[in-house]
Amino acid sequence: MDTAEQAGVGRSGVDPITLEVIRHGVVSVTDQIDANITRTAFSPYIYEYRDFAVGLVGPDGESIAQCRGGMPIFVADSVGMAVRDGIATYGLDNLHPGDVILCNHAAIQGQHLNNTVMYTPVFAGPEEDRLVGFFAINVHWIDVGGSVPRSRDIFEEGLQLRSIKLWSKGEPIEEVYRIIENNTRTPEALMGDIEAQLAGCLLGRDLTRELAERYGTDTYLAAVADILDQSENATRARIRDMPDGTYESEAFLDNDGQGNTPVPIRIRVIVDGDELTVDYSDMADAVPGCINSGFYGGGRTTARVAFKYLLGAEEPANEGTFRPLKLILPEGKLLSAPATAPMGNYGHPFPTIIDAIIRAFEQVAPDRVTGGHYGTFAGFRFLGTDAAGAPFDCHVCGYGGWGASARGDGGGPFRTMAHGDTKLIPMELQEALYPVLIEELALRPDSGGAGEMRGGLGMVNTYLIGAPCHVVVKFDRVDCPPWGVAGGKDAKPGWVTVEKAETGERVTLRKDKGYPLEVGDRVIVTVGGGGGWGPPERRDRAAIAEDIRLGYVTPEAARADYRRTG
pLDDT in tens, 337-372: 999 999 999 999 999 999 999 999 998 888 889 999
What is the DSSP code (8-state) at residue 94? Answer: G
Provide the β-strand partners of residue 382: 394, 471
Distance CA 236, CA 204 (A): 31
Q: Of 559, 531, 533, 535, which is closest to residue 545 (Cα–Cα)?
A: 559
Q: What is the pTM of this model?
A: 0.92
User: Within 13 A of 477's CA, how many CA atoms are on the CB side?
Assistant: 34
Answer whether residue 522 shows pLDDT above 50. yes
Element (H, E) at 119: strand 115-124
pLDDT of residue 566: 42
pLDDT > 90 fraction of the chain, expressed in percent and rounded: 80
Mean per-residue pLDDT, 380-407: 89
Q: Of 181, 226, 360, 214, which is closest to residue 280 (Cα–Cα)?
A: 360
* Neighbour count for residue 118 (Cβ, 10 Å): 25
Terminal-residue alpha carbon distance, the chain: 42
Answer whether residue 41 shows pLDDT above 70. yes
Task: Give the chain's mean pLDDT.
Answer: 92
pLDDT > 70 fraction of the chain, expressed in percent and rounded: 97
Distance CA 53, CA 197 (A): 10
Report residue 391's pLDDT band, with 50, 70 and 90 as the boundaries.
Answer: confident
What angle, rounded to 10 degrees, do the helices at 217-240 and 301-311 form?
70
Three-state SS annotation for 417-452: CCCCCCCCCCHHHHHHHCCEEEEEEEECCCCCCCCC
Report residue 150's pLDDT band, with 50, 70 and 90 as the boundaries.
Answer: confident
**SS3 at position 485:** strand
pLDDT of residue 392: 86
Distance CA 43, CA 195 (A): 12
Answer whether residue 523 shows pLDDT above 80. yes
Report residue 418's pLDDT band, with 50, 70 and 90 as the boundaries.
Answer: confident
Report residue 148's pLDDT band, with 50, 70 and 90 as the boundaries.
Answer: confident
Mean per-residue pLDDT, 484-488: 96
Mean per-residue pLDDT, 424-445: 92
pLDDT of residue 264: 97
Answer whether residue 68 shows pLDDT above 60. yes
pLDDT tens column, 365-379: 888 899 999 999 888
Answer whether residue 389 shows pLDDT above 90. no
Q: Using CA atoms in the order 137, 138, 143, 144, what is the torsion angle rounded to 10 degrees?
A: 100
pLDDT tens column, 237-268: 999 999 999 999 999 999 999 888 999 999 99
Answer whether residue 33 shows pLDDT above 70. yes
Report residue 3's pLDDT band, with 50, 70 and 90 as the boundaries.
Answer: very low
Answer whether residue 543 shows pLDDT above 50. yes
Answer whether residue 487 shows pLDDT above 70. yes
* Neighbour count for residue 381 (Cβ, 10 Å): 17
pLDDT of residue 100: 98
Least confident of 107-111, 132-136, 363-367: 363-367
